[in-house]
Structure 1
């Protein structure tokens, strides 16, 4: 194993053990760094100190020619910058060779969402087995009520739900916690599910959502349930689309971007702006009510 691979592994160990990034995020970092290391191998670069801006630009150009999107290249650049910052800290290099390098721009499509009626229809679960009907119904209601990510839902433990306060404690990216409200419908759905759960749960299993074997549900299992529900309803919906719909409905109703940012657990408000959208009529109404020069004065 050359030094570049060792340095990459050291960085990934740091992300996992110190930064405590999610397995999904860690996998993305590894995949992006592997792309760059593959390029470095073709250039006989065996140490991070041998990498310069020219190599990074050449790698980006090559990946772009191969069809990698601007968004994916931007993510790769972000991974490289984090790696180089770590390398500076470890004194492997003195400066970041990626400074000033940007990815090719690509259009940002609006996230796919459902309207309120479509969401309500998708959430109505009909199953011949009471276990699946109550569990899947509670999963959908919880995700839509609080805008949870898939990983946040699967990580939920019984102690994270406060029925008297109507809240749920979610553990998000970077192991950051946030307290979120749970609506009455979601709370009732969870209570119905818990009456089924106790018949199947393994002893001392803390997870809210479990399989029939009594063990914590994995993200892939929930994705499979979404696929089943999508077939039953006749239109494709994935867990992130439900989160998008939550954000869109909250923003359209309240117009409070900062509040939606807090609910979603976004570190930067720019991320919230990408995940949500307002229609022009709502924007115009907000403008008319808020801008001092937009309001008509009485004669």
Structure 2
């Protein structure tokens, strides 16, 4: 449901005019040809609904009529309306992607967003669980088939740094448990082979022993026997965290952050972490070097004789 001041995307696209129709074609291409997840597509749809609404309010009949000055006004208005710098960056990225599609299809002569710059967002480091917290989270009894499934999900998320959509899309044919590998279809339909640790292999073997593990079957199933939904994954993770007494907010992507941080902390190999996570650009992976530096700084503060704060007894 749209929040106050936003237009519901479904309402926006109810009329497939010369503005909305190309957007719908573009979104369909992202889904079919590039394999974008429903979650990612929903974000694009919301962003481009804002753009369509703006163009209609300006009385534009086609995208060729949108000029850079109008586009600059649109981005500035969204920022003034309260959209965060990070959200404005995403909005501008969505618009640029759509304009690139129009350029390729001959619907535009030039992108009206070519020279626009989004406001700079403060760099926010991802939250992680430390190794002890992760062990406590994963050490829960498997008393029911649902528990067995949940253990396998959580172990695999942490072991291999999968995105939630990648986890939900897994089939048994993607797993090579004896070799300790899983083939993952990531963003943009790109595939990568990812190692699976021993604890995750044990949990997956226990899940496979419950039956219905033919190559085409989903690894993780919902109540109706189909592939588990992304929302249910989030709810199950939250339930396990509460049961295990983890007082941090625990969500699917936290396992990916924790996996990357722990591997980098142990190995120092940024390229290996990039391959593990399936990042197209190593700059995306470099955020984990900041986490590793924070850990180093804490160790230094605790251990270095010239860094430690003196206790009151030492002060005399």
TM-score, L = length of structure 2 = 0.83
2:128 maps to which of 113, 117, 126: 113
1:105-161 Cα deviation digits (max 9, x unpaired): 12121001010000111111235x421221111111111111111111111111111
> 5+ residue gaps in structure 1?
286-299
Q: Are the aligned partners of 1:19 and 1:174 in contact in 2 as well (CA < 8 Å)?
A: yes
Compared CA separation, residues 74 and 212, structure 1 to 2 (3 A): closer
3-state DSSP of counterpart to 2:87: helix
2:255 maps to which of 224, 228, 242: 242
Q: Are the aligned partners of 1:12 and 1:30 in contact in 2 as well (CA < 8 Å)?
A: yes
CA distance in 1 between partners of 2:215 and 2:99 (Å): 43
Aligned positions, number: 281
| Paired position in structure 1 for 2:44 | 29
Q: Are the aligned partners of 1:169 and 1:178 in contact in 2 as well (CA < 8 Å)?
A: yes
| Paired position in structure 1 for 2:76 | 61
2:149 maps to which of 125, 132, 135: 135
Deviation at 1:275, TM superposition (A): 5.2
Q: Does 1:95 align with 2:110?
A: yes
Q: Which piece of structure 1 moves more, 34-43 or 258-267?
A: 34-43
Q: Are the aligned partners of 1:205 and 1:215 in contact in 2 as well (CA < 8 Å)?
A: no
Q: Does 1:217 align with 2:228?
A: yes
3-state DSSP of counterpart to 1:279: helix
1:80-127 Cα deviation digits (max 9, x unpaired): 111111111111211111111011112121001010000111111235
| Paired position in structure 2 for 1:175 | 189
1:240-284 Cα deviation digits (max 9, x unpaired): 01110001001111111111000000001111123562125648x
| Paired position in structure 2 for 1:267 | 280
Deviation at 1:211, TM superposition (A): 3.1
| Paired position in structure 2 for 1:126 | 141
CA distance in 1 between partners of 2:216 and 2:276 (Å): 28
Compared CA separation, residues 252 and 106, structure 1 to 2 (3 A): same
Q: Are the aligned partners of 1:205 and 1:216 in contact in 2 as well (CA < 8 Å)?
A: no
Compared CA separation, residues 274 and 131, structure 1 to 2 (3 A): same
| Paired position in structure 2 for 1:230 | 241
1:81 maps to which of 96, 106, 109: 96
1:174-197 Cα deviation digits (max 9, x unpaired): 11111111111111111112222x
Deviation at 1:204, TM superposition (A): 8.2
RMSD of aligned Cα (Å): 2.1
3-state DSSP of counterpart to 2:89: helix
Q: Are the aligned partners of 2:172 and 2:216 in contact in 1 as well (CA < 8 Å)?
A: no
| Paired position in structure 1 for 2:165 | 151
Compared CA separation, residues 55 and 138, structure 1 to 2 (3 A): same
CA distance in 1 between partners of 2:288 and 2:202 (Å): 28
Q: Does 1:164 align with 2:178?
A: yes
Q: Does 1:252 align with 2:278?
A: no
Q: Are the aligned partners of 2:140 and 2:244 in contact in 1 as well (CA < 8 Å)?
A: no
CA distance in 2 between partners of 1:139 and 1:169 (Å): 15
| Paired position in structure 1 for 2:218 | 207
